[in-house]
Structure formats: C-alpha cells, structure tokens
Copies of this chain bind each other. A is one copy, B any other.
Amino acid sequence: MSNTQVLFVKRPIGLFNPRETFKIVKTPIPTREDLKNEEILVKIRYLSLDPAMRPWMNDTRSYMKPLGINDIMRGNAIGEVIISKNPQFKVGDIVLSAFGWQKYAVSNGKDVVKINPFPGVSISDYLGVLGLTGLTAYFGLFDSKVKAGETVVVSGAAGATGSVAGQLAKIKGATVIGIAGSKSKCDWIKNELGFDIALNYRDPDFVGQFQKATPNYIDVYFDNVGGEILDLCLSRLAKNARIAFCGAISQYNEKKIKGISNYPALISNTARIEGFLIFDYQSRFPEAIRDISKWLKEGKIKRREYIINGLENAPEGLLKLFKGENTGKFLVNVGDDVKAKL
C-alpha cells in the first residue's frame, strides 16, 4: 500500500493539458512514527475540483501565491482522521481542509475543520452546498442586496455556485434568469430548482432570447463566467444594477483575455461591478451555514453532485470542469471503498 500524490509540474499557457501539467507519484504512507506532535494523518475521501485551480497555475499577482512547480496540487478535500497526535482531533473524525491532491495527507491541524453532517446531508455536501461554493453563492448574492421583485441573472447557473445563487435569489422573491451551457442543465434549473427562465448560451439565438427575457433589464447579475456573457449583461443593466463578480471561468484558459466593451453602461445606469472572495467572509460562515442548512431541510435548496472516481482521474476531471461536463458540484471520490459515500 502506498500514498498517491498529484504534483503540479508544468505551468500551462492557455488551455492546460492534464498529462503535461500534472504528474502522479507514489510515496510511502506516513506512519505514526513519521508524524510530529500536533500532526494528524487524514485519509482523503472527496476532493473538490474548482475553476480557480487554473488561475492558481499562473505566475501572476493574485489573492494566493501561485502554485510552485512540483507542489502537491492545491485543493480542498474531506477525509477521515486515521492517526492523531493532536488532542483536538481523534481517529474517526471527519475533517475538511486544503489537504491537496493526495490519498493521505499530513496536517498540523491548522485550518482544519471538523464536519458533523446532520440527517439529509452527506459529508461531501461540505465541499459544495455547505462548503465554499454554497457560501460563495450566499455572500455574493446577499451582499448585492437583492430585493423581492428584482430581476436577477445568474451565469454558470447549473454549476455548484450558480445553482445555489439562483435558488437564494428565488428565496428572496426575485425573478431569476439562469444561463447555462446545455439543454439538460437548463431543464434542471428551471424544472427542479425553480428558476423562472433558463437560457442556453450555446443556442444560436441566445442573445435575442436574452434580450427578450430582460424587458425590465437586470437589477443583479451574479457573474460566474465573465467574457461575452458579462458584456451582454452590461448592455442590459437597469438603473442602480449590481454585478456580483464571482468568477470569470470563460477566460481562465485563454492566452489573451477578450475585453468587455459595454462597461460605459455602468455610468449611465449608475451600476457597479464588485469582485469578492469567499475567504474574506470567514467570520460570517456560521450564519450562512445555519441559513443554508435550514433551507436544505425545508427543501428550498436542492443540489446535485457530479462525482468521478479515483484520484488518478482528477487531472482529466479538472479539464471536464472547464468543458462543462458537471451539473452541480464537481467532486473526485478518492476513497477506494464504497463506504466513502456516507
């Protein structure tokens, strides 16, 4: 038995090639003797795949330092404590942290959170609807101060973040228009999640459909994608519109970012674009988890997971994320036993 680790070995330019960007290595599984005081050994069960992983690969100034060559690939994961030299954690604890892309992770317990799922949620939900993507939807949407009756547009609407953002806007009484990349995604957000309108941006007539769908223009745009869809939304702003700028996935693999041209509309509509990062909200996570948990129990928030099996498949999985193969939260099931899914 050995540990598997995925290393980031080459900085890509443009669309990354999973086989060139990453290297899978086998290393010994750390033993009790290898652990220092305060350290724990965690057997990883689920790994979160996130669009931000692509910008982390760039050697540019950002909110986190760039990945270093030969680093274990950075990433949030959930696992089970199997050895503990830290009094705060005991064997069997389910824990979440940026454990990275590996089957077994050593941690000193810093920034490690214990997970206690309640009936109706699984541990993997803490990487999705009750994890960073759900919280991102919560703070991004609510800080845009959406009011009942307003028109809210969400892009990446069938993804982990977008699907929650749209449902939160419905809870607030807004009219919600979701934009996603396939008919089946549109069906899901409209028929199961209760979005008022769902539009497929790959439809040839998408722009016309979008204009027709926004006769009163847009009060809030929750933007997961940037690029052309952002530019289109800028052309349909209502007075005092707010753009919660969450992500720009459409540009993450571009060698050269395509500019947005309709930005002067921000002046004529006294509108704003506001970028935000979930890490800045840490102190308010409990309130968000409390609210989302309640809405999950009441059936007001639904979620889906898209799970691939095997850590070895994470590099290809990350590429699939950018191709839009997921509906809902993209996860890698790292555990090699069926028990992995609690």
Residue numbers of A with Cβ under 8 A of B are: 55, 61-63, 226, 230-231, 245-248, 251, 256-277, 280
Contacts and interface: CB of A to CB of B under 8 A. Distances in A.
A218 to B, nearest CB: 13
A270 B263 contact: no
Given A251-B264, A257-B264, A272 B275 contact: yes
How many chain copies? Answer: 2
Contacts of A258: 259, 261
A226 B275 CA distance: 19
Contact of A226 (B55, B263, B268, B273): B263
A227 to B, nearest CB: 10
A214 to B, nearest CB: 12
Given A261-B257, A261-B259, A62 B268 contact: yes
Given A245-B266, A266-B245, A271 B275 contact: yes
A189 to B, nearest CB: 23
A330 to B, nearest CB: 20
Contacts of A63: 268-270
Nearest to A251: B264
B275 A274 contact: no
Contacts of A264: 226, 248, 251, 257
Nearest to A237: B275
Nearest to A217: B61
26 contacts: A55-B268, A61-B268, A63-B268, A63-B269, A226-B263, A231-B259, A245-B267, A246-B267, A247-B267, A248-B264, A257-B262, A257-B264, A258-B261, A259-B260, A265-B275, A266-B273, A266-B275, A268-B275, A269-B275, A270-B276, A270-B280, A271-B274, A271-B275, A272-B272, A272-B273, A272-B275
Nearest to A277: B270
Contacts of A251: 264
7 A-B pairs with least C-beta separation: A259-B259, A266-B275, A267-B275, A272-B274, A257-B261, A259-B261, A248-B264
A219 B269 CA distance: 24
A276 B271 CA distance: 7
A248 B264 CA distance: 7
Contacts of A230: 263
Nearest to A246: B267
Given A61-B268, A63-B269, A259-B260, 18 more contacts: A55-B268, A63-B268, A63-B270, A226-B264, A231-B259, A245-B266, A247-B267, A248-B267, A257-B263, A257-B264, A258-B261, A259-B259, A259-B261, A265-B275, A267-B277, A268-B277, A271-B274, A273-B273
A270 B275 contact: yes
